C-alpha cells in the first residue's frame, strides 16, 4: 500500500486525488494527532489555515476548516498568503499547528495539503504516518460549545511583512527590483515588502485569477522576467513560485542566478557579518560542484544532504546551523524562518547588493558554475541500481577520470521507474559524454520488460 504523504505533504489533482471528502477526513485525522497536546492541557487546539490562490484552494480550505472545527479545533483562516508566512504565523502566535493548501510550483489543476507542527516546523515522517493511520479510526465528535470556531486571521499578511522587514539592517533605497510573483501567493506581500524596504519595484505575474498560477511565469519560467529586467533597467529580478517559498534571481544583464549561486552569495555575506553558524552551509547532493569549490576557497564547510528541503531543515536543526538550501531556490535562514522563504531570500540578496555596492552579477561571480548534465532514464528498475556491479564499476571509472574536476551522481526516483544520472565537469562536452554513457548502461542493465 502506497504512503499517502509524499515529500511535501499530500499532493495530487484537485477534485480527483484531493476531494472535499478526503480533505475533511485528513483534517479530522490531523486534529486528532496534532491537537493532542492541547487537549491534554484541557484547552482547545488552535490551527492556522492558509492557501495559495489556485481556484481549488477555496473548496479545500472549506473542507479542511470544517474537518478541524468539527473536531474541536479553533481555526484562524489566514486566506491567501505564502507558505513561509503560514509557518511563521504558527510559531508567532503559538498555534498548535498549521495547514497550508498549495501545490507550490505545480500547475493550477494540482493542489496539496501540508501541515506544520507547533513552532511552524514540518512534520517528521512518524507523525505523518500517525495522521494517516488515524484516517481509519473514528474522528473526534465534540458537541455544543466544544465545537471549534472558524475566524478570519485579518492581520496575517501585515504580521508577516513586519517580520520580513525586521530582518533587514539596511534600506533598499536606490535599488530597482523587478518581481515575478508567479500569479501566486507572493502577489500581495512581495511587492509590498520590497517597496516598504525602500526599493523601486516593477512587478509582473501579480494578477492571480485562480487558474493562471505558475503559467509561463515564476521560478520555473524565467524568460519573461529576464526580458523585464533588461527592458526596465532593473538592478535585479526576483522570481517566486506559486507559494513563494522559492527565489531565483536575474542580474542586470539578464543572466540567471540560481539557488546555488544565491547560497554562495549569502553564505559569504553571513560569514562576513559573523552570523554564519560554525562557518557552515547546508546544501543537497544536487548542488553544483562549483558551490563546494567556492565555499572551500572562503573557509566555509559544506554539509550535503539528500534531495529535499526537509533534509536541509533536519541538518540545520541537528547541527545548530543558520543557512542552507537547494539549487531550486529553497533557501532557509533558520534564525528567521522554519522553512524556505522566497521573499526573505530576495530581500537579503538585495540587501547584500546595497551593503557591498556591487551588482548581482559581480556577487554571483564568486562561484563558477560547473557544466551539469542531468538525464532521467525512464522505464527502469530503480531499486536494482543498488548492488549492480557493472554500473558501480562504470561510475568508479568516471569518477577516476574526472578527479577533482567533476563528479557523478546516480539517484533512483522515490516514486517512479526512473534513475537520474547527473554528471558535472569543468567542460560541458566531457559531462555530456560521460552522462550519455552511464545512461545507456543504466538502460541496458535495468530496463523493465513490458
Contacts of 3 (CB under 8 A, 6+ apart): 129, 132
How far is it, in rounded angstroms, from Cα 277 to Cα 267? 10
Residue 74 is assigned to a ligand binding site = no
Residue 251 is assigned to a ligand binding site = no
How far is it, in rounded angstroms, from Cα 43 to Cα 425? 58
Residue 241 is assigned to a ligand binding site = yes
**Residue 163: phi, psi to the nearest 5?**
-60, -50
The residues carrying an active-site annotation are 104
Residue 243 is assigned to a ligand binding site = yes
Residue stretches of the annotated binding site = 104, 241, 243, 245
Residue stretches of the annotated binding site for Mg(2+) = 104, 241, 243, 245
Amino acid at each position: 500500500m502506497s504512503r499517502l504523504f509524499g515529500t511535501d505533504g499530500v499532493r495530487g489533482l484537485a477534485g480527483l486525488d484531493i476531494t472535499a471528502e478526503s480533505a475533511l477526513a485528513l483534517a479530522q485525522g490531523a486534529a486528532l494527532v496534532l491537537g493532542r497536546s492541547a487537549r491534554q492541557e484541557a484547552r482547545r487546539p488552535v490551527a492556522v489555515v492558509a492557501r495559495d490562490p489556485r481556484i481549488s484552494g477555496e473548496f479545500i480550505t472549506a473542507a479542511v476548516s470544517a474537518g478541524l472545527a468539527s473536531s474541536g479545533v479553533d481555526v484562524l483562516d489566514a486566506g491567501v498568503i505564502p507558505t513561509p508566512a503560514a509557518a511563521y504565523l504558527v510559531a508567532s502566535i503559538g498555534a498548535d499547528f498549521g495547514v497550508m493548501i498549495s501545490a507550490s510550483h505545480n500547475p493550477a489543476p494540482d493542489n496539496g495539503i501540508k501541515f506544520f507542527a507547533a513552532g511552524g516546523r514540518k512534520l517528521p515522517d512518524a507523525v505523518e504516518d500517525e495522521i494517516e493511520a488515524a484516517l481509519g479510526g473514528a474522528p473526534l465528535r465534540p458537541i455544543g460549545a466544544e465545537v471549534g470556531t472558524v475566524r478570519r486571521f485579518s492581520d496575517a499578511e501585515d504580521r508577516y511583512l513586519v517580520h520580513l522587514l525586521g530582518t533587514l539592517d539596511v534600506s533598499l533605497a536606490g535599488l530597482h527590483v523587478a518581481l515575478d510573483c508567479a500569479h501566486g501567493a507572493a502577489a500581495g506581500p512581495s511587492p509590498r515588502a520590497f517597496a516598504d524596504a525602500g526599493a523601486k519595484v516593477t512587478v509582473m505575474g501579480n494578477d492571480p485569477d485562480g487558474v493562471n498560477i505558475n503559467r509561463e511565469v515564476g521560478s520555473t519560467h524565467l524568460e519573461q522576467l529576464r526580458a523585464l529586467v533588461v527592458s526596465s533597467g532593473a538592478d535585479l529580478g526576483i522570481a517566486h513560485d506559486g507559494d513563494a517559498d522559492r527565489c531565483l534571481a536575474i542580474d542586470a544583464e539578464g543572466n540567471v542566478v540560481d539557488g546555488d549561486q544565491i547560497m554562495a552569495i549569502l553564505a559569504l555575506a553571513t560569514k562576513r557579518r559573523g552570523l554564519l553558524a560554525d562557518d557552515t552551509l547546508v546544501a543537497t547532493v544536487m548542488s553544483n560542484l562549483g558551490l563546494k569549490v567556492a565555499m572551500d576557497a572562503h573557509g566555509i564547510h559544506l554539509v550535503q544532504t539528500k534531495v529535499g528541503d526537509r533534509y536541509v531543515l533536519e541538518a540545520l536543526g541537528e547541527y545548530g546551523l543558520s543557512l542552507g538550501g537547494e539549487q531550486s531556490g529553497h533557501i532557509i535562514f533558520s534564525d528567521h524562518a522554519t522553512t524556505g522563504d522566497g521573499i526573505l531570500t530576495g530581500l537579503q540578496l538585495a540587501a547584500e547588493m546595497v551593503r557591498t555596492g556591487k551588482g548581482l552579477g559581480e556577487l554571483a561571480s564568486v562561484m563558477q558554475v560547473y557544466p551539469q548534465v542531468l538525464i532521467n532514464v525512464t522505464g527502469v528498475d530503480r531499486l536494482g541500481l543498488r548492488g549492480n556491479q557493472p554500473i558501480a564499476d562504470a561510475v568508479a571509472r568516471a569518477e577516476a577520470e574526472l578527479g577533482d574536476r567533476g563528479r557523478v551522481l546516480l539517484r533512483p526516483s522515490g516514486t517512479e521507474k526512473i534513475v537520474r544520472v547527473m554528471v558535472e565537469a569543468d567542460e560541458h562536452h566531457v559531462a555530456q559524454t560521460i552522462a550519455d554513457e552511464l545512461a545507456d548502461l543504466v538502460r541496458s542493465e535495468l530496463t523493465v520488460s513490458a
